Structure 1
């Protein structure tokens, strides 16, 4: 989820924590600890400072893993205990643990996902039923927090909210399942699907859809019950292994292959001295433009001369970023 929603969830947990009698005299500390727990798994956002490849490779990786889900609450509790006297460390730790675990849990429901099962599995868990920012979830949390702020008991406010959220998530799973079946029906006569991707957008009734067959890629959106495929491209065969071997070792290309669950590649000779390999993530088509790509320009010896990974909104900007790296 986005930062604003994580903060709203932290405030909601703080409201529930006010019912813990051992924390009644420590509201400021409790709120600080819980909100910190709601945000700390995303501390790896600072990796953006280094470069996109490092950020994309590690964001929501180890910081959302099982060891760190257990470590963060201990660290927060230790710091609170060191700098603030008189706090009940066991209860502070329990609420911090709940905040961190909730953060990691809700993140698995969007299309970015997390490596929440590390170290047992490095697989990205991407359930793709809730957008990174869901305005319905955020609005419900804001309304609930506002009602609580008027003195209404937290159980009365947030009990129904929990029930609503469970129902909402079940509904989103059903919507995704129905759309997947409908999308497959529309392309079943065009070839056997090898990959299917269905993910939400910020709009409740719009979903992103990408289907790969052995021959073509189909990319589109759903609008209510209507599914419109706006892009169909014949798949290229993989480049020769002698070309792919040096490219796979490039950090930008490696980061893309690790991150993207469904993509196409485009391979062409730009001139006698330059060969271009472009990897296009099919999940991010908007207004006719694929926003997330990785690109590498190789010289005549098949060595990577320039490469780039990231979100780019025009071809001119892509070329500027490529040659800036």
Structure 2
């Protein structure tokens, strides 16, 4: 499963619960309003079509235009038009329900650690509240309970499930804040520069974390319900020589360097000199540590004089190489 896409089942089921809460119509694919909101809950991930152009265009633009406020309005308007003609149904009503679906999709994607470019094209910044893993069993269960409650007129059960969804999100937020406070005390003698708490990539019962000090970046994980910090990676930030600092700055301003900085807000840059007197500047995306490695990397190879010889992206595995032109 790709780590950047929240599963479509979560999007459809959670959105169906929201639809049931705001509509008295039946949940059926021959119902134009339900069809509109269901398509809306899936259509932002239509940017997956960019995969046909390769990993770099996809990773550069995924969760960009289609996951922005402007994109949500445009996608909803375009989706509602053919549906209104097909079903001879009120366009504005279908636009509203499509927007509900797109909005629920953006909300769930905003809640995980990859984030969305909410203000595109004004800003390329990725917004994320770092609350949810990519497959959320509790949200799915509560959504199904709510749908059944509305379907059989058990409104107390239906609205209670919707309320518990809010309670669950608040509890995740408070748990993240509490764990962040614990981390701050755990690393209090390390002169912390930056600290990020993230939902674990696959584990519902853990938090991941990145703690950056002056010279070390700690990447680790801890259980939600007990204090047992496990440091998975301890990475040096030291820059020993002036030439090394100059090469790193050059790599940061290269095509792949700019792309990587837009791709992730949490990264580390490393320098390595090869046996043939070349320099490798490596970018590491710190958000996803899978098994014994980080998921996404990029590399800039330079001559000793500082001229860039090669730029490549390494999505999903360090041995997977996509060269920048």
- Provide the TM-score with structure 2 as the length reference: 0.85
SS class of match (2:127): coil
Using the alignment, how far apart are the partners of 2:35 and 2:28 within structure 1? 14
Residue equivalent to 1:258: 262
Contact 2:212 2:218 in 1 (8 A): yes
Asked if structure 1 preserves the Cα contact closer than 8 Å seen for 2:146 and 2:159, the reply is: no
* Partner residue of 1:281 out of 273, 285, 288: 285
Residues 91-114 of structure 1 show CA distances to partners (whole Å, capped at 9, x for unaligned) of 222211211122212221111111
Of 127, 134, 143, which aligns to 1:141? 143
Give unmatched runs, 5+ long, in structure 1: 313-317
Secondary structure of 2:204's counterpart equals: coil
Change (3 A) 1:220 1:24: closer
Q: CA deviation at 1:247?
A: 5.6
Q: Deviations over 1:257-279 (max 9, x none)?
A: 11222222221111225321111
1:65 alignment counterpart: 68
Aligned to 2:43: 40
Q: 1:305 aligns with which of 310, 313, 317?
A: 310
- In the TM superposition, what are the counterparts of 1:1-325 in structure 2 within 5 Å? 1-16=6-21, 19-20=24-25, 27-85=30-88, 87-145=89-147, 147=148, 151-153=151-153, 155-190=155-190, 192-201=191-200, 202-223=202-223, 224-225=225-226, 226-237=228-239, 239-242=244-247, 244-245=249-250, 248-250=253-255, 252-272=256-276, 274-300=278-304, 302-312=307-317, 318-319=318-319, 321=321
Query: Residues 19, 173 of structure 1: CA spacing in aligned structure 2 closer, same or farther, 3 A cutoff?
Result: same
CA separation of 1:262 and 1:64: change in aligned 2, threshold 3 A? same
2-structure distance, mates of 1:53, 1:25? 38
- Unaligned runs of 5+ residues in structure 2 are 1-5
Distance (Å, rounded) in 2 between the aligned partners of 1:51 and 1:245: 25
1:19 aligns to what SS in structure 2? coil
- Of 170-179 and 72-81, deviating more is 72-81
Deviates more, 1:241-250 or 1:46-55: 241-250
What is the TM-score of this pair, normalised by structure 1? 0.85
Label 1:169 to 1:188 Cα distance change in 2 as closer, same or farther (>3 A).
same
CA contact (8 A) 1:109 1:126 kept: yes
Q: Do the aligned partners of residues 195 and 53 (structure 1) sit closer, same or farther apart at CA in structure 2, a change above 3 Å counting?
A: farther
Alpha-carbon contact 1:200-1:207 (below 8 Å) kept = yes
How many pairs align?
Answer: 313
- The alignment partner of 1:208 has SS state of strand
1:17 Cα deviation after fit: 6.0
Secondary structure in 2 matching 1:271? coil
Cα pair distance change 1:196/1:283, threshold 3 Å: same
Q: Secondary structure at the match of 1:124?
A: coil
Q: Distance in 2 between matches of 1:243 and 1:25?
A: 56
Distance 1:258 1:55 in 2: 13
Query: Offset of 1:24 from its aligned partner?
Result: 10
C-alpha separation between the residues in 2 aligned to 1:300 and 1:59?
A: 35
The 8 Å contact of residues 297 and 306 in structure 1, kept in 2 or not, is answered as: yes
Matches of 1:209 and 1:40, distance apart in 2: 31
Matches of 1:39 and 1:320, distance apart in 2: 29
CA displacement at 1:299 relative to structure 2: 4.0
The 3 A distance-change label for structure 1 pair 320 and 199 is closer
Alpha carbons 2:124, 2:262 under 8 Å: kept: no
SS of the aligned residue for 1:71 comes to helix
Indicate conservation of the 8 Å contact 2:17/2:144, yes or no: no
